[in-house]
Amino acid sequence: MNNRRIGLSLLIPSTITGIIILVMSNYLPKEALLPILIINGVIWASGLVLINYKAKHSRRDKSKFKRTNTKTWDN
């Protein structure tokens, strides 16, 4: 699995869990609500980071890497 799929698989359940927790906040004890939301927020943020993470020049892509700006304009 690549980083985007892992990020998406973290983001979707975390969002659903957060919505369920906020809807059921009247039935949960107040002491348990904040830690659950903090853990859920950390998972959600890490999912966002993994979705947006992109390795520019990984080991596999170095063979295909071409330099830009190699033209000489002094001709």
- Dump pLDDT digits (tens) for 4-36: 888 889 999 999 999 999 898 888 888 888 899
Determine phi and psi for 60, rounding to 5 degrees: -70, -30
Range scoring the smallest mean pLDDT among 23-27, 37-41, 47-51, 59-63 = 59-63
pTM over 0.75: no
Structure-token pair, residue 25: 């906040």
Q: What pLDDT score was predicted for residue 12?
A: 92
- Cα–Cα distance measured from residue 32 to residue 56, given in angstroms and rounded to the nearest whole number: 41
DSSP character string of 23-49:
HTTTTS-HHHHHHHHHHHHHHHHHHHH
Cα separation values, 70 from 16, 23, 52, 53, 66, Å: 50, 58, 30, 28, 10
Q: What pLDDT score was predicted for residue 58?
A: 55
